[in-house]
Amino acid sequence: MGGTSSDGCGKVRELVCTLLGTGTSSGIPVIGCACAVCRSDDPRDRRLRCGACLRFLDPSGTPRAILLDVPPDHREQALRIGLDRCDAIVVTHDHVDHVWGLDEVRRYNVLMAAPIEVWASRESLDGLRRAYRHVFERTSNVNDSFVADLIAQPIDDHRPFLLHGLRFTPVPLLHGRLPILGFRIEAVDAAGEPLSEQPGPLPLAYCTDCSAIPPQSWPLLRGLRTLVLDLLRYRRHPTHFTADEAIAAATEIAADRTVFIHMTHDIRHAELDERLPPGMSLGYDGLALG
Ligand SMILES: [Zn+2]
Ligand SMILES: [Zn+2]
Ligand SMILES: [Zn+2]
């Protein structure tokens, strides 16, 4: 794997999407809980908060890494997979379990000697500016301390955007009453159009934290090779899909492969995974979708 333009072949290749965390907001085990899943010795029942990483060679042959959300567990997740760069961050929504690891990315600023773009809706960026005033209003810090160097990139009107040979199409989702974003990710040609032959797990849609898929989003989820979808627990919840709801949505979307994320300690991996329909499975921390 080279790092110069001389070995490029004009399109994205060797793309792997790694699930860095697959647990609900508390993480599993839950602090102070003695339930069977929290005490399970199956490593797939240990779930850090949800985030993912796309690693690939861009059209010039340069290695790239793009983060989907930056949960509070990001430091541990980065160490587990030996992540040593970050070329962009794409945010689904600004809930604590999805973005409160953003301070950790200052280390990539040092490694790459560059700022990092953070792509998010204007609403999510407003939340990030409130939570990370020390980052986004750095000049007001009493001491000029070591903080992340981020460039806010608003996603307007659900318009697709390009990052290093990939097109990210925002997929509006409903997280209870809160509109948030999923993303459809595809490799594109020099004109920005999707390639007819997509590498690895692409086209892939990452749809965390949803309780409903609005009508305008269903066409954006057609023809997927991989779907990553919220599945919280068995019992109803106001802001997340239950197992039955997630399976029903995945059946309708009909991706070649569906992987579920954001599970609570009600879900024992071995128990539910074997009962899922063909082509569907439970995600677990470290699962590499290639
Ligand atoms: Zn528990
Ligand atoms: Zn959320
Ligand atoms: Zn969440």
Mean pLDDT of 238-248: 98
Q: Cα–Cα distance between 66 and 64 in angstroms, integer?
A: 7
Give me the torsion for CA of 188, 189, 195, 198, rounded to 10°.
Answer: -60
Q: Which ligand is nearest to the CA of 24?
A: 3
Q: How far is the CA of 15 from the centre of ligand 1 (A)?
A: 35
**Length of the chain in terms of residues written:** 290
The two most distant CA atoms of the chain are separated, in Å, by: 57
Q: How far is the CA of 100 from the centre of ligand 3 (A)?
A: 11
Mean pLDDT (the chain) is: 96
Q: Which residues have CB less than 5 Å away from ligand 2 (the ion)?
A: 95, 209
Q: How far is the CA of 253 from the centre of ligand 1 (A)?
A: 31
Residues 6+ apart with CB under 8 A from 128: 91, 94, 99, 102, 118, 120, 136, 152
Q: How far is the CA of 267 from the centre of ligand 1 (A)?
A: 10
Contact between 202 and 223 (Cβ < 8 Å): no
Q: How far is the CA of 286 from the centre of ligand 2 (A)?
A: 21
pTM of the entire structure? 0.96
Q: Which helix (H) or strand (E) holds 118?
A: strand 116-121
Long-range contacts from 39-43, C-beta under 8 angstroms, 24+ separation: 40/268, 40/269, 42/268, 42/269, 42/270, 43/284, 43/285
Q: How far is the CA of 281 from the centre of ligand 3 (A)?
A: 19
pLDDT of residue 1: 42
Residue 8 binned pLDDT confidence (cut-offs 50, 70, 90): low
Q: Which ligand is nearest to the CA of 178?
A: 2
**Amino acid (one-letter) located at 212:** A
10 pLDDT more than 70: yes
Domains contained in the chain, CATH given: 5-281 (3.60.15.10)
Q: Which ligand is nearest to the CA of 211?
A: 2
Q: Cα–Cα distance between 170 and 66 in angstroms, integer?
A: 15
Mean pLDDT of 11-32: 98
Q: Which ligand is nearest to the CA of 50?
A: 3
Mean pLDDT of 176-184: 98
Q: Which ligand is nearest to the CA of 69?
A: 3
Q: How far is the CA of 282 from the centre of ligand 3 (A)?
A: 16
pLDDT of residue 7: 53
Q: How far is the CA of 288 from the centre of ligand 1 (A)?
A: 26
Residue 200 binned pLDDT confidence (cut-offs 50, 70, 90): very high
